Amino acid sequence: MKLIPAPFVTLSLLLLTTTAWGHAFPDHSEPRVGGTLQPPPPRVRLWFDGALEPAFSTIKVVNAGHQQVDNGDGRVNPADHTVLEASLPPLPQGQYRIVWSVVAHDGHRTEGGLSFAIGPGLPDRPWATSAAATIPQLFVRWLSFIGLSMLIGALAFRLLLIRSVVLPRQAFETVERPLRRLELSLIVLVALTTIGELILRTQMMSDVRLIEIHVTLPVVLLQTHFGVVWLIRLGFIGIMGLVWGFGRTTVSQSQRTIMLSLSAATLIALTTSLSGHAGDWGDLTMPVLIDWIHLVAVSIWIGGLFTFGFLLQRVAVPPRTEEVTRKLAAIGRPFSRMAAYCVFTLLVAGLFNAWLQVRSLQPFVTTSYGLTLFVKVVLVGLVLTLAAVNRYYFLPLLRDPLGARYRPLVTTIGRLGGAWLVGAGGDQVAGIRRRLRQFMRLEWILVIAALALAALLTHLPPARHILAHHHLEQQTHRQP
């Protein structure tokens, strides 16, 4: 079974679509884009479609000779962080350009220019650009999604496992020890990617070389929305580390410990939503809530999927473990039910997020964001198909190899798949176990590819930003 295409396609998309605009665009301006004015305006204002970071956002007005002509007081409006403004002295007739450079709450920098004229003049088209997302930025973001989703899913699965009564005490301890080691590894991974994101995001926001970020790092931490969210995130990671260190082995204590760790992990997911696209509308908004619910539901599903496969790989391979394997397979039913709830939740939340960021069907095929989102949806559909085969074919056969063959759904899937599902060989039970591990491995590879696309989406401008830029261009064309 060849498993190369999905990661290969994802890596190709990462390499081919990293050039992107930033994530804050002017929505309208005063004076209007391309406007011809009489008398001269007392100030210029730009309204953006997202909140800006005052410490890293600037505006100035230049004349045709590129000399700055404003009063030098350009800033983000203290009462409205979506407004960038500067006052003007009395200006003579001529062509002028508003030059702006802003950083959004998600840390992406955008630069651009808008023109206006006092007296006769021909307006120029507005422009906007930003530096391309780098491979290290995409890679760290990808690892962050992997670590956080696996951590939330592993904790949710451990909680489900503890509440289950199918495993005897000795078997429970057999699977509990590797799960605790896995949890510690994931906490470390989330901590390392959090530090990496701070370094790379600081470089992006301040537009300096990597060796110079020590100068702007305190500014990012103490004077930006991202810095505050990052410090809160680091605090929750520290809490998880302490909880893991003080955890106990008894079932009742473990359940309370896991609940506390799971709560901290979901709050870490909230910091991801607060520092992403959803944060453009503000912190206490419906987009942030929906994005957070979407992220937690995805994490419980795919992280639990990985944890389940991890246990089957660890427990089912050694000899004389058939009984433990069947007990683990029995957990597949409540896990599948939990996963079904999560899939329904993430689909509803995903549709809301797609409508919020794309707004119509056309951008799905005309923008990099829309095309990447479409490929991600296709990968998720393939994962759901494989999950259905595992749930309704392989797991029933593992729980009851003889009785499950008479179930209509198992029989139908078996006829459609034929020998390809079970594989060759005389030992059918061994073939089922082998194929289940292979299918779950394939599921996880597709999930990894989908998470890579999710990381790419965080660095691509949503279609609504591009539509806003086109709206400004249309305003220029309509000027008399």
Residues 100 and 44: their CA atoms lie apart, in Å, by: 11
Question: Which of these, 88, 105, 109, 110, lies nearest to 37 by C-alpha position?
Answer: 88
Residues 227 and 234: their CA atoms lie apart, in Å, by: 10
- The confidence score (pLDDT) of residue 479 equals 47
Per-residue pLDDT tens for 315-337?
A: 554 444 555 556 566 676 777 77
Per-residue pLDDT tens for 277-315?
A: 766 666 677 888 888 998 999 899 888 888 877 776 665
Least confident of 71-80, 446-455, 466-475: 466-475
Handedness of CA 132, 135, 137, 138 (dihedral sign): positive
Burial of residue 432, with CB atoms counted within 10 A of its CB: 0-12 exposed, 13-18 middle, 19 or more buried: buried
Per-residue pLDDT tens for 67-80?
A: 999 999 999 999 98
- The confidence score (pLDDT) of residue 12 equals 43
- The confidence score (pLDDT) of residue 13 equals 42
Coil, strand, or helix at residue 10? helix
Number of H helices and E strands in the chain, helices first, is: 15, 9
Most confident of 118-127, 350-359, 446-455: 446-455
173 — pLDDT class (breaks 50, 70, 90): low
Least confident of 7-16, 85-94, 467-476: 7-16
> What Cα–Cα distance (Å) separates residue 175 from each residue in 47, 83, 157, 294, 446?
56, 55, 12, 29, 25
- The confidence score (pLDDT) of residue 158 equals 83
Least confident of 145-154, 227-236, 249-258, 417-426: 417-426
111 — pLDDT class (breaks 50, 70, 90): confident
Mean local confidence (pLDDT), 181-186: 90
Per-residue pLDDT tens for 18-31?
A: 333 445 777 778 88
Mean local confidence (pLDDT), 394-409: 70
- The confidence score (pLDDT) of residue 152 equals 95
- The confidence score (pLDDT) of residue 77 equals 92
What the block records as the tokens of 243 is 């909880």
Mean local confidence (pLDDT), 148-168: 78
Is CATH 3.40.50.150 what the domain over 22-131 is classified as, yes or no?
A: no
Per-residue pLDDT tens for 384-398?
A: 888 778 777 777 777
Residues 90 and 43: their CA atoms lie apart, in Å, by: 10
